[in-house]
Amino acid sequence: MSAQVSAAPAASFGRKALDPRIELLSWILLVLAMVSVPLWGSVYAVYMACLIAINVIATVGLNITVGYAGLLSIGHSAFLGVGAYASALMWLHLGTPLAFNLVVGAVSAFAVGLVFGIPALRIKGVYLAIATLAAQYSLYFVFQQWTSVTGGDRGLSLPKIDVFGYGDTGFYYVVAFVALVATLAARNLFRTRIGRSFIAVREKDYAAQVLGINVVVTKLVAFGIGAAYAGVAGALLAAFLRIVNPDQFTLVSSVFFLAAVVVGGRGSILGSILGALFMTMMPDLLREVIAHFSSEGADLASLLSPVREIAFGLLIVLFLIFEPRGLVGFVDRALGRAENVEARQEH
């Protein structure tokens, strides 16, 4: 029996489709905002915009796996590490250009994602979360202990990249362009048969199988695509920070991206953008709050680290309880878009 899955645009979690004119205007405004940042922003503003764009790519990838396919993963940062190390090694040993390194990072992470996606074929929910947690620690162990390749705890140092002689500004535009293309590609993915298959498997995998969808392949592809997005983000992060070490890809980083998905809105590309923006800016907000309430001369760095981790967990819990649709739910209400179907998701 062949899959009878509509290729029409998916209204994620029962949300009404946005008016095409409003959606087009939103994309145009987003592009204009991205282009204008170096024109009015400080060096720090460009730095933050670059980091936000990289986090958007990674968050979109995780949302494909978690939000659209319903496969819980808490080892996402490990796939960023795969992409970062793969691209860094290509750059250092072969001198390959950034565009090629992005492809290498995506392919490497995709392959690793397929391997660690195998447990998703038989288990789900908390058991799948534990399996992805094993992936997180396994890959972290490889990053840390395979010193002849990864450099161990010291990591790998990379030369500064100069895009067309424009330095950091040129690199920012490259990152912004890749983020825009990746986001649009994810948006259009769910207008295709495979994207609709992700949603069908998320809702009821056995019902999807009755429709003729190959559930095994669909779950593996969902993990692979999500990991590939993380690989691209990792390759860009390596070029951006010019250093790759295991401490960049810890469990806390994975929780950061999971929080971005939940806070922004599961099963929503807009939610991925809003979640990544909010979570990336949150440490600065916390720093200002701590500086306001702490005594003069206090070590803000030592205070910020534990508070940040607590904030990640607290945000996930609060949004799951009070606004399961995340920030995109507030946007829907602001635009007067009512739900047609009660949001539901199986993990």
User: Which of 318, 339, 341 is CA-nearest to residue 329?
Assistant: 339
List, for the chain, all residue ranges whose pLDDT scores fall below the cut of 70: 1-23, 289-306, 336-347
- pLDDT at res. 19: 59
142-194 pLDDT, tens digit each: 999 999 999 888 989 998 887 877 778 889 999 999 999 999 999 899 888 88
Q: 342: buried, middle or exposed (CB in 10 Å: 19+, 13-18, 0-12)?
A: exposed
User: Which of 8, 126, 113 is CA-nearest to residue 61?
Assistant: 113
User: Which of 255, 275, 280, 279 is CA-nearest to residue 264?
Assistant: 275
CA distance 62 to 9: 20
- pLDDT at res. 59: 95
pTM of the full structure: 0.86
- pLDDT at res. 7: 41
Helix axes 251-264, 327-334, angle to 10 degrees: 20
> For the chain, what are the domain ranges?
41-250
- pLDDT at res. 15: 56
249-260 pLDDT, tens digit each: 999 899 899 989
